[in-house]
């Protein structure tokens, strides 16, 4: 108890404290940055890292950013994707990011939920669900405006990626509902390769694999003939049973464990066998639950549909049997656990080691929503602009899911699929609806802001300014 009280004391002191000297920077920042904590419930405390705009912080838009998992840190966005400084391979230094989003907006990175990164629970209980996460994220947003009242009326945008596809719409809808009691100048929300519909993600993963040359034609024809009554285009692949489930099992096993990079079909996996790749494990538990349990499906009830089996299994969150070490997280781990860095960003000495993803959060997280349709409809209805952007080589949350999801919302289409350009080259394709824009980023995987930085900078800038691509 004494330790918990001491920890709470330190957190209270460091809330909203400016970062004066960040170790390893190879440039002199021309902006203010802060690191601190928000007490979002009796027992949960969320860590945040806030970078002011390099342009005109007194007027520029404000972005709240959330990475996914569930259970992975939003500092991945800061130090790997669109932050003003990104981690070098040595794990000791940071380099300047030419395409940092804080050149056009101030950005708040919130480590959510409690138990992720440097966020914690004073009683050790980090069990959470979609509703509680959105409630506590909303509390963090309100506390931010209390801590930094000068940003209270700035145009505000809620953004995230991956399982942020659940975090962001549920939070944005909560902000919409709370406008009378706590008005926010909410202008938009954006999702990058967002996990917006569980059934669509399963179904389109198989179709994505076939369309990218990963499935034998004989197997595809068998799926169509035996499992889809001769018409695979209108077939729901999440409802297959028996030997059809065996075919789908083989496809999924290859997508996740066959040596390909699920985050980007055309990006190599890191060859280092000892590389830290926690993000991959958490992706499998989060947006692709129970992929290691197909054998159990076949041994037990062959009349159970693939989707129902995965839905049941996602509740148990058993440890995975395999891993694909495609992403190297070691540089961030080294940097964030450097004692000098911890001191610079005001982390209490008795707070535990930072990790990019939390096993405990992911394995205990209770997913409540499998379809973001009601939330997106509410957001659009309340005149909050929505951007869904998808790197088109991502297999974890593929663009076909986002495309079909957008089309099925029932919004009036104002522009059919059309190329958009950056630097006189086709950068992707856009489809516009009333209140919602769906775009692809050509040649980008799951982390589009990291792997197609110039194109994404331009796309987000246009969205913030409410200008067309």
Domain ranges for the chain: 2-197+369-464, 199-316
- Phi and psi angles of residue 434, each rounded to the nearest 5 degrees, phi first: -60, 110
Cβ pair 110, 76 in contact under 8 A: no
Q: Is the Cα dihedral 463, 464, 466, 469 positive or negative?
A: negative
Give me the residue label for tokens 């929505």: 386
Report pTM: 0.91
Mean per-residue pLDDT of the chain: 88
Q: Is-catalytic flag, 293?
A: no
pLDDT in tens, the chain (469 residues): 434 444 444 444 345 699 999 999 989 999 999 999 999 999 999 999 999 999 999 999 999 999 998 999 999 999 999 999 999 999 999 999 999 999 999 999 999 999 999 999 999 999 999 999 999 999 999 999 999 999 999 999 999 999 999 999 999 999 999 999 999 999 999 999 999 999 899 899 999 999 999 999 999 999 999 999 889 988 888 888 888 888 887 888 788 878 889 899 999 987 775 556 666 666 666 676 544 444 444 444 445 555 554 455 444 444 343 444 688 888 999 999 999 999 999 999 999 999 999 989 998 999 999 999 999 999 999 999 999 999 999 999 999 999 999 999 999 999 999 999 999 999 999 999 999 999 999 999 999 999 999 999 999 999 999 999 9
Q: Is-catalytic flag, 446?
A: yes
Q: Assign domain 2-197+369-464 to its CATH architecture.
A: 3-Layer(aba) Sandwich (3.40)
* Separation of alpha carbons 84 and 30, rounded Å: 10
* Separation of alpha carbons 119 and 39, rounded Å: 10
Out of 162, 277, 305, 314, pick the active-site residue.
Answer: 162
* Separation of alpha carbons 352 and 459, rounded Å: 38
Q: Is-catalytic flag, 394?
A: yes
Residue 231, strand partner residues: none
Q: What DSSP designation does 72 have?
A: B
Cβ pair 278, 67 in contact under 8 A: no
- Phi and psi angles of residue 420, each rounded to the nearest 5 degrees, phi first: -120, 150
Out of 264, 394, 406, 437, pick the active-site residue.
Answer: 394
Record the tokens describing residue 351, joined without a space: 């707070």
């Amino acid at each position: 108890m004494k330790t918990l009280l001491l920890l709470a004391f330190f957190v209270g002191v460091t809330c909203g404290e400016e970062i004066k000297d960040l170790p390893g920077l190879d440039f002199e920042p021309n902006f203010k940055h802060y690191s601190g904590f928000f007490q979002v419930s009796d027992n949960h405390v969320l860590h945040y890292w806030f970078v002011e705009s390099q342009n005109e912080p007194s007027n520029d838009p404000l972005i709240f950013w959330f990475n996914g998992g569930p259970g992975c840190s939003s500092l991945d966005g800061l130090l790997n994707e669109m932050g003003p400084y990104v981690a070098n391979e040595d794990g000791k230094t940071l380099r300047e990011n030419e395409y940092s989003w804080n050149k056009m907006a101030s950005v708040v990175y919130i480590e959510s939920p409690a138990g992720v990164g440097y966020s914690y629970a004073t009683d050790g209980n980090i069990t959470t669900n979609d509703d509680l996460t959105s409630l506590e994220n909303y509390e963090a947003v309100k506390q931010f405006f209390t801590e930094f009242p000068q940003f209270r009326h700035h145009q505000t945008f809620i953004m995230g990626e991956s399982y942020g596809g659940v975090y962001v719409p549920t939070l944005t809808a909560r902000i919409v509902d709370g406008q009378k009691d706590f008005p926010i100048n909410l202008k938009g929300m954006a999702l990058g390769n967002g996990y917006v519909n569980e059934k669509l993600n399963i179904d389109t993963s198989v179709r994505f694999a076939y369309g990218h040359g990963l499935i034998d034609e004989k197997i595809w024809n068998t799926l169509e003939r035996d499992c889809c009554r001769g018409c695979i285009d209108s077939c729901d692949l999440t409802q297959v049973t028996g030997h059809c489930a065996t075919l789908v099992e083989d496809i999924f096993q290859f997508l996740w464990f066959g040596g390909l990079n699920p985050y980007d079909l055309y990006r190599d996996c890191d060859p280092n066998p000892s590389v830290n790749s926690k993000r991959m494990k958490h992706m499998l538990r989060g947006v692709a639950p129970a992929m290691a349990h197909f054998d159990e499906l076949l041994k037990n009830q062959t009349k159970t549909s693939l989707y129902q089996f995965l839905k049941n299994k996602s509740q148990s969150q058993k440890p995975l049997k395999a891993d694909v070490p495609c992403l190297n997280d070691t540089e961030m781990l080294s940097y964030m656990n450097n004692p000098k860095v911890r001191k610079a960003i005001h982390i209490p000495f008795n707070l535990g080691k930072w990790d990019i993803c939390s096993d405990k959060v992911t394995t205990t997280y209770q997913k409540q929503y499998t379809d973001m349709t009601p939330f997106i409809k509410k957001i659009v209805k309340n005149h909050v602009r929505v951007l869904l952007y998808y790197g088109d080589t991502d297999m974890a949350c593929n663009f076909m899911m986002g495309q079909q999801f957008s089309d099925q919302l029932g919004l009036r289409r104002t522009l059919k699929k059309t190329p958009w350009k950056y630097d006189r080259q086709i950068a992707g394709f856009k489809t516009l609806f009333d209140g919602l824009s769906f775009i692809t980023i050509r040649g980008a995987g799951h982390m589009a802001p990291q792997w197609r930085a110039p194109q994404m900078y331009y796309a987000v800038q246009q969205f913030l300014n409410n200008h067309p691509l």
